[in-house]
Amino acid sequence: MAASSSADVKIPKSPVVILMIGMAGSGKSTLMHRMVVRLSKHKKVYTVNLDPAVRNLAYPVNIDIRDSVNYKEVMKHFGLGPNGAIMTSLNLFATKFDQVLNILNKRAENLDVVLIDTPGQIEVFNWSASGQIICDALAVSYPTIVCYVVDTARCVKPVTFMSNMLYACSILYKTKLPFIVSFNKIDVISHDFLKEWMEDFEKLGDALSRETSYVASLSKSMSLAMEEFYRNLRSVGVSAVTGAGGEDFEKAIQEACTEFQESYVPFLVEQRRDLEEKRKASVEEQMKTFERGLDRAKATNKRGRDTDLDQLGEDVQNLSIEERDYMMDCMD
Ligand SMILES: Nc1nc2c(ncn2[C@@H]2O[C@H](COP(=O)(O)OP(=O)(O)OP(=O)(O)O)[C@@H](O)[C@H]2O)c(=O)[nH]1
């Protein structure tokens, strides 16, 4: 197989895709809303919601997973709890992610920023196939960056801060994408203490020493290893509610875009073909997993209690991702 050349890798400068990732309640959707309001003043913004279980969103959505996948149906048919149904719904949606790309490709010329909201189940992005499929599909097409949202107020507990940062670290290494940690909710408490902990691991060690749990001593022993990660980490303090830190956030996006072009594109030159083959294999695997799940569900429902399973199988095969036209009209 011929090696890829830089001529094979043409990533336009825009639109910039920003994936909002973070633990449940960290403020991803609120920050999305804040950014839509702020950025729309001087940029063409497009939004995608990948959280199948969210009830209300304050921002206008252009592509919404809830229009294609009904997670309550997935829960019912597969006998899953809410978490499992969210993961399965996202896996199904990911198998059709090419349709999202097609829509974006059509709109790309007229867009500056694509903001993507994700579910609080952040394991999607450090071990589930769907996170990888989505990140790779986006990153081979557009400058793509991860905005990792952290609830600053909850991080006053140093073990919570450590566990958040371990997640961030694993997502960074998994996606390899430029990364911005957004310490959100600085209207409640300033993130200065977190900056100190990241700059001086002894200070974090002292804070952890005040706790006696096993997790605290584990965190303490890992804090030195995290120093390298913190050293190269881009972070900003923001408040999705008041809008504080918006300027820093925009600056961080600019820097991350430069990093994408300087560091990620050379990686793509080497890996693009490999990434795309892996993505296709992953999509096929997800479809097979879905079909196996469907067969299992049919076997347990053979007395005909659930007659919708054939329909569900058909719906997923034909799953169609549409954009909400009226929103695009509003933004035009
Ligand atoms: N004080 C304050 N509250 C915030 C801020 N951002 C979000 N919140 C609140 O935090 C709660 C969770 O916010 P969401 O935006 O729903 O969080 P999320 O990360 O999208 O949550 P999931 O959808 O569960 O993953 C809501 O009550 C918000 O009003 C902020 O900057 N300051």
pLDDT of residue 80: 86
* Token digits of residue 63: 């592509």
CA of 284 to the centre of ligand 1 (A): 35
**What is the pLDDT averaged over residues 16-35?**
97
Question: pTM (2 decimals)?
Answer: 0.90
Ligand 1: residue of 20, 30, 65, 149 to mutate (most ligand atoms within 8 A of CB) is 30
Q: What ipTM describes this predicted complex?
A: 0.98
Locus of tokens 């990533």:
11
Cα 73 to ligand 1 centre (Å): 27
Q: pLDDT tens digits for 181-237?
A: 999 999 999 999 999 999 988 888 888 877 777 677 777 777 777 888 888 899 999
User: Is 60 exceeded by the pLDDT of residue 286?
Assistant: yes
Q: How far apart are CA 147 and CA 134, in angstroms?
A: 15
Mean pLDDT of the chain: 87
Give the residue, by CA position, lying nearest to ligand 1 atom 22.
24
- Residue 332, pLDDT > 50, answer no
Q: Which residues are near ligand 1 (CB < 6 Å)?
A: 22, 24-30, 51, 54, 119-120, 184-185, 187-188, 239-241
Atom 12 in ligand 1: residue holding the nearest Cα: 25
Quickly tell me which residue has 């694993």 as its tokens.
Answer: 170
| pLDDT of res. 126 | 82
Side-chain-facing half-sphere of 203: CA atoms under 13 Å = 11
**Is 213 exposed, middle or buried (CB count within 10 Å of its CB: 0-12, 13-18, 19+)?**
exposed
Q: Whose CA is nearest to atom 21 of ligand 1?
A: 25
Beta pairing partners, 145 = 18
Taking 70 as the threshold, does the pLDDT of residue 7 lie above it? Answer: no
Question: Tokens 């390298």 sit at which residue?
Answer: 228
- Closest Cα to atom 1, ligand 1: which residue? 185
Nearest CA to ligand 1 atom 9: 27
Closest listed residue to residue 248, CA positions, set 235, 233, 232, 261: 235
Stretch 322-326: mean pLDDT? 77
